[in-house]
Structure 1
Amino acid sequence: MTSTPEAPTATQQDPGYYETMYILRPDIAEDAVDGHVNKYRDCILGAEGQVIDTQMRGKRRFAYPIGKHTEGIYVQLHHSGNGQQVAVLEQAMGLSDDVIRYLTIKLNFAPVSRDSRGEQDKGAAAADGQPPTHQDPG
């Protein structure tokens, strides 16, 4: 009698990698922006996820108005976990009046945090005056 291999449990699987981009109202103060960033990081950590990287993308003008807003403050958040942190994060964002829009996608690769990029990338960027670019491994 042959046995079939068991399906991996949630603890045996590699964590899922996610990218969440959210847009905050343009009229909120900088310390309030930092407060939102910390609040959403805590949501992920509270749901047993891990925050890989957070990048402030700054204030940008929209291609079309969203509600009464024509611009917003963009924040990009890379995180990993079993997927439960996505529901917790999106619920918190949905309840906030300061979040205009948000979108979470599942990544097929592990994102590289700004702190773990090699010195070679930084050196190449300084040499040609361009920021380092992310290349898809596949």
Structure 2
Amino acid sequence: MPLYEHVFISRQDLSSAQAEGLIEHFGTVLSDNGGKLVENEYWGVKTMAYKINKNRKGHYAYLRTDAPAAAVQEMERLMRLHDDVMRVLTIKVDEHAEGPSVQMQKRDERAERRERR
């Protein structure tokens, strides 16, 4: 099955438990349609670059999935209809990276970047 990575932003006035509940909800949507949630990460509340629906902040969540295209389309459809979800981004990848995402790594663990001039 194809591999996907999803990032979605939910409203800032949700509690962190409610935001993590959305991750579980969309994971069950995938499993009901023949896919599986490989890994998920809750990134917390972050400030956005611009306002979305009069919100300056949002709860960010990251999902790694292994699911058929029909299951991903159904999950995206339900995300877009859900009142608490503001934005959704889905990317098809060749393989999932090992370990935590860059957002969850400490600055010391990240690969060295070249110097700015």
TM-score for the superposition, normalised by structure 1: 0.70
Greater gyration radius:
1
Hey, what's the Cα distance between the residues in 1 that align with 2:62 and 2:2? 17
Question: What is the CA RMSD across the aligned residues, in angstroms?
Answer: 2.0
Structure 1 stretches of 4+ with a deviation exceeding 2 A read 110-114, 128-133
Distance 1:64 1:104 in 2: 20
Give the structure with the higher percent strand.
Answer: 2
Structure 1 Cα separation of the partners of residues 110 and 35 of structure 2: 27
> Following the alignment from structure 1 to structure 2, what is the Cα–Cα distance between the partners of residues 112 and 48?
23
**Cα offsets for 1:11-36 (capped at 9, x unmatched):** xxxx1000010001011122211221
**TM value normalised by structure 2:** 0.81
Q: How many residues align?
A: 107
Unpaired runs of 5+ residues, structure 2, are 112-117
Q: Which has the higher contact order (CA 8 A, sep 6+)?
A: 2
Unmatched runs of 5 consecutive residues or more in structure 1: 1-14, 115-124, 134-138
Q: Distance in 2 between matches of 1:112 and 1:46?
A: 26
| Identity over aligned pairs, percent | 25
